[in-house]
Amino acid sequence: MKLRRHPLLVSLVSAAFGILACLAVVNLVPEPQELREPLPHHLASSDEQLRLSMGALFGSNYVPGNKVETLVNGVAIFPSMLEAIRQARQTITFETYIYWRGDIAVAFADALAAKAREGASVKVLLDWVGSVPMDEALIERMQQAGVEVVRFRPVAWYTLDRLNNRTHRKLLVVDGRIGFTGGVGIADEWNGDARTPDEWRDNHYRVEGPAVAEMQAAFAEHWIEATGELLLGDRFFPKVEPVGEHAAQVVVSSTHQRNVMHLMLMTALASAQKTIRIATPYFVPDELTRRQLIEARRRGVAVLILVPGPQTDARLVRKASRHFWGELLEAGVRISEYQPTFFHAKLAVIDDAWTSVGSTNIDARALRLNDEANVNLFDRRFAAEQIAIFDRDMAASRPYSLDDWHGRPASQKVTDWAASLARSQI
């Protein structure tokens, strides 16, 4: 059959290709940037006006009266999360990008199912892409017990324009009073204490206090998109009295305001007076981020970047990252590669004053494509604790020098360059 004899068929095929091309453009074209130049160093990290400005611009204001506990590696993270689930009285809301297989996946499914059988409201939101490797039997087990398990943005005709926009948030909220966020996924890869390549290195954070309502609101935003149900009432948003001394800000990026994380990061980098510390498993900084870091170096700020070494789950990202290191190293930025296992912790500390923790990486996918959630603190004691953890990780890392970068084999330079072409999607 010749298509030219069937003009209607030709029109339909052409229209289909046109639609597919438009969807590809919508999903693959990089998000526009609001900023065109690095931010000037107008407000220092020690300036009270910086806290007020960031509270007004990005997410919630700084909510006082919280207790934020740092959990290092699965050996501390998973028992704390599971204990909170088992102690739940009324509600559990849980959103995650990665939920895979193994003993930890089973332990969470069993704990969530047990609470649902007791009569608690248990809502689980899994990213459709991130949870593809999940054992479907675990979903059935939870659903049979009464857990509401929903996949976020599954492939359908009405989600094709957002296929590339995933939820990368990692939020667990229990009774609206206790929240968890950080870098960990629900999989055995995170179990243990980062002693071998089979035990990944990560941080997670337990938050108790009024700021948990902001974490619950972040979950509720995605839950209503996925299900049409609006979460209301004191089961989800109880009145919470102050329980600690941390003032915390919850910042989320969403489909229509993804650049908020990028703007927040640029604002923080511009405020640095002495030291910038960044730990991230995926470091593919865009041109503006690189220029912001180089501007910090020009005013004498020490910049320390901690990334994975040979142990990684994304070699393409490592290669793309390395392609951009030359100008940073020439400016005096110190880049170190963690050696013992895959490094997955996400942390930014400016001077000894401001800290940001949560799900956000330093790459286009986190800063422009994914929906993320972070907790920020202007708290010197909390910053000192994170710096001590950062320093321990640096001690287990190998510095990467400008000589190392120039001395790469030609084949590695070519593959690094080729990987960098995909930077808008990784």
Tell me whether residue 170 is one of the annotated catalytic residues: yes
**Bridge-partner residues for 91, per DSSP?**
121
Tell me whether residue 344 is one of the annotated catalytic residues: yes
**Bridge-partner residues for 179, per DSSP?**
173, 207
Tell me whether residue 198 is one of the annotated catalytic residues: no
Phi, psi (rounded to 5 degrees) for 308: -65, 155
313-346 burial, b at 16+ Cβ within 10 Å, e below that, comes to ebebbbbbbbbbbeebbebebbbbbbebbbbbbb
- Name the pairing type of β-strands 178-182 and 397-400: unpaired
Tell me whether residue 2 is one of the annotated catalytic residues: no
**Active-site residue (options: 115, 123, 127, 170):** 170
**What is the spatial distance between Cα 98 and Cα 94, in angstroms, rounded to a whole number?**
12
**Active-site residue (options: 115, 123, 127, 175):** 175
Instruction: Take residue 142 and report the two structure tokens written for it.
Output: 């939870």
Instruction: Take residue 376 and report the two structure tokens written for it.
Output: 């920020």
3-state SS class at 283: strand
Cα 174-144-100 angle, rounded to 5 deg: 65
**Active-site residue (options: 115, 123, 168, 262):** 168
**What is the spatial distance between Cα 333 and Cα 337, in angstroms, rounded to a whole number?**
13
- Name the pairing type of β-strands 171-174 and 373-378: unpaired
Report which of 217, 216, 174, 162 is spatially closest to residue 369, judged by C-alpha positions.
162
Tell me whether residue 222 is one of the annotated catalytic residues: no
Tell me whether residue 234 is one of the annotated catalytic residues: no
**What is the spatial distance between Cα 186 and Cα 395, in angstroms, rounded to a whole number?**
27
**What is the spatial distance between Cα 334 and Cα 277, in angstroms, rounded to a whole number?**
10
**Active-site residue (options: 123, 319, 323, 344):** 344
Rg (CA), the chain: 22
Report which of 346, 377, 340 is spatially closest to residue 363, judged by C-alpha positions.
346
Phi, psi (rounded to 5 degrees) for 249: -115, 130
**Active-site residue (options: 222, 346, 352, 393):** 346
**For residues 182 and 203, is the Cβ–Cβ distance under 8 A?**
yes
**For residues 153 and 255, is the Cβ–Cβ distance under 8 A?**
no
Helices H, strands E: what count in the chain?
A: 14, 15
**For residues 350 and 271, is the Cβ–Cβ distance under 8 A?**
yes
Residue 7, classified by CB atoms within 10 Å of its CB into exposed (0-12), middle (13-18) or buried (19+), is exposed
**Active-site residue (options: 351, 352, 363, 371):** 351
Active site residues: 168, 170, 175, 344, 346, 351
